[in-house]
Amino acid sequence: MFYSHFSLDQNPFMECPPLAWLQKDERFDQGLARLEYFAREGLAALLLGNTGTGKSSLLRLFKQHLDKNRCPVQYLHLTHLTAPGMLRLIVAELGEEPKLGKDRLFRQILQCVNKSETPTMLLLDEAHLLPPDALTDLRLLLGSFTEQTSKLKIVLCGQQPLRLMLNRQAHEDLAARIAVRYRLAPLNEEQTHAYIKARMKNAGASKDIFQDDARDAIHEYAQGNPRQINNIATACLINAAIKNESIITEISVNQAMNEFRLP
């Protein structure tokens, strides 16, 4: 495949790279600064961004930065759960066997949190998939504490529908508890260039395979979205390997896009 053609050790544009690969650009620096403030001072935080912009990667970096002795962290990747399903998932992540009934689940969560000497943090990824009553349950959990005595902190991470849900009157109490809000933007052109270079170097590339005009074209096609950059760059590498080409230019990107069109 293209690994051997370009003398790469592994896939440079994998979906979930090692943490050491993550490009700590200004977007991540800004996000981490806000989340670290929240870890010290807040009850809830909101992280928004379009699909593929790197929200989950930012959460992974944030989790790595936290002092685990100061704040135990549980990362939950949510799907289309019911409100009781979310509570059961939280209980399981806290190391307990979920009991039957919402009241019992609430008590289990509060008992687990209260017996810890330090605050427990829940990182809820894909939170835009939660139903409204699940957000109500999160508000009730947070409402069991005050800012001075809180043993529970929650990060809500998701796409635009999450913000719209929180703007509803039914969730104004939860929204009022959000100390930090941050929207993760796409990469700008300079960041896209750095992103592609760093990924290729981490994968073992010894030279610039993607020329400047190719990186420009990829940025334009992907609109700075890292996931789309990954997809397009991979398509370019495959096509170049098939054609026995050693570099990738703007022409190479355009040819790849004839076969690989963004939806």
What does the pLDDT look like over 57-98, one tens digit per residue? 999 999 988 866 567 888 998 878 899 999 999 999 988 898
State the amino acid at position 121 in one-letter form. M
In a domain, 93, yes or no: yes
Mean pLDDT of 39-60: 93
Asked if 174 and 84 sit in the same domain, the reply is: yes
Structure tokens at 38: 């929240």
Asked if 118 and 8 sit in the same domain, the reply is: no
Question: Residue 93's Cα: distance from chain center in Å?
Answer: 19
Asked if 146 and 201 sit in the same domain, the reply is: no
At 169-191, the pLDDT tens digits run: 999 999 999 999 999 999 999 99
Q: Give exposure, 196-220, as e/b (b: 16+ Cβ within 10 Å).
A: bbbbbebbebeeebbbeebbbbbbe
CA angle 188, 200, 214 (to 5 degrees): 55
pLDDT for the residue 198: 94
pLDDT for the residue 40: 86
Say what the pTM is. 0.89
Q: Give the range among 2-11, 14-23, 253-262 with minimum mean pLDDT.
A: 253-262
**Distance (Å, whole) CA 77 – CA 261:** 29
Mean pLDDT of 26-34: 94
Asked if 155 and 206 sit in the same domain, the reply is: no
Asked if 146 and 85 sit in the same domain, the reply is: yes
Q: For the chain, give the mean pLDDT.
A: 90
Residues 6 or more apart in contact with residue 256 via CB below 8 angstroms: 232, 235, 236, 238, 239
Q: Residue 254 pLDDT more than 60?
A: yes
Percent of the chain, pLDDT > 70? 95
pLDDT for the residue 155: 97
Closest CA to 82 of 128, 131, 141, 129: 131
State the amino acid at position 6 in one-letter form. F
pLDDT for the residue 147: 57
Q: Give the range among 99-103, 208-212, 214-218 with minimum mean pLDDT.
A: 99-103
Closest CA to 121 of 182, 8, 237, 43: 43
Q: How far apart, in Å, are the Cα atoms of 69 and each of 59, 64, 118, 165? A: 18, 12, 8, 34
**Total number of domains constituting the chain:** 2
| Residue 107 and residue 155 in contact, taking contact as beta carbons nearer than 8 Å | no
Asked if 70 and 173 sit in the same domain, the reply is: yes
Asked if 93 and 52 sit in the same domain, the reply is: yes
In a domain, 21, yes or no: no
In a domain, 42, yes or no: yes
- Domain of residue 82: give its range: 26-183
Give the position of tokens 């026995």. 244
Positive or negative, the Cα torsion across 155, 161, 163, 166? negative
Asked if 166 and 193 sit in the same domain, the reply is: no
Q: How far apart, in Å, are the Cα atoms of 156 and each of 39, 90, 112, 129, 244? A: 13, 14, 20, 11, 46
